[in-house]
Amino acid sequence: MLLRELRAAREPLRLVLAYKALSRSPKGTAGVMVIPGYSTNDAAMTPLRTFLTGRGHRVWGWGLRTNRGDVAGMLDAVVDQVAMRVMANGGEPIALVGWSLGGVFAREVARDRPDLVSQIITMATPIYGGPRYTVSARNYSHEAITEIEATIAERNTRLIEHEITAFYSKLDGALDWRTCIDDLNPNVEMIEIDSSHLGITLDPVVWTKIAQRLAPQKRR
């Protein structure tokens, strides 16, 4: 599976080639918080944040250094960060854009504090099993994975009413793509793309579609 991640090396070139098309993507003025994936920090999401800022949006990172994967332990801190961004956005709810485990945080913030969130956009985010079906499973004990999986199953019984856009790829080399399919919540659009797990944050198709969904008049 990890050999598939070599595809990530092509993404910077694809962005260069897609420059003109990206420059024509819709603009907007949404408040947006971009949440990094497991073992990464805000620096990893700088290209996407820069693009969204260039399209007119007010964009923030999550401000919590490296995402260590402790969803239960860090969720309250992430909620606090989102609440601060909402205040900076004039009290208006903000969109949450999350990559991989960052998307898990986005979904759980929306589940606990729907008043803070306008919409959710995830990239290669697992919905089921936690780390069980990912390459990071080796970093957890069997007991820990079982406990996380049970917690996720319990939380998934509480539906998310917000609009969710979820990108996934069958070429993902870091997790089983089937865990990304959200067949639980009522307002989900699943979008299959041709990307690696690492490259999805630099995929020009993803960037364009994110811009479309953040624009005042969404182009579906």
- The string of pLDDT tens digits covering residues 122-177 is 999 999 998 999 988 888 899 999 999 999 999 999 999 999 999 999 999 899 99
Q: How far apart are CA 88 and CA 31, in angstroms?
A: 9
Q: What is the average pLDDT score of the chain? A: 93
Domain 2-16+32-213 - what CATH class? alpha beta
Sequence ranges of the domains in the chain: 2-16+32-213
Spatial strand order of the sheet with 94-99 comes to: 58-60, 31-35, 94-99, 117-123, 164-168, 188-192
Closest CA to 21 of 215, 206, 217, 176: 206
Q: Considering the entire predicted model, what is its pTM?
A: 0.93
- Which of the four pLDDT bands, split at 50, 70 and 90, describes residue 212? very high
pLDDT tens-place string over residues 145-158: 999 999 999 999 99
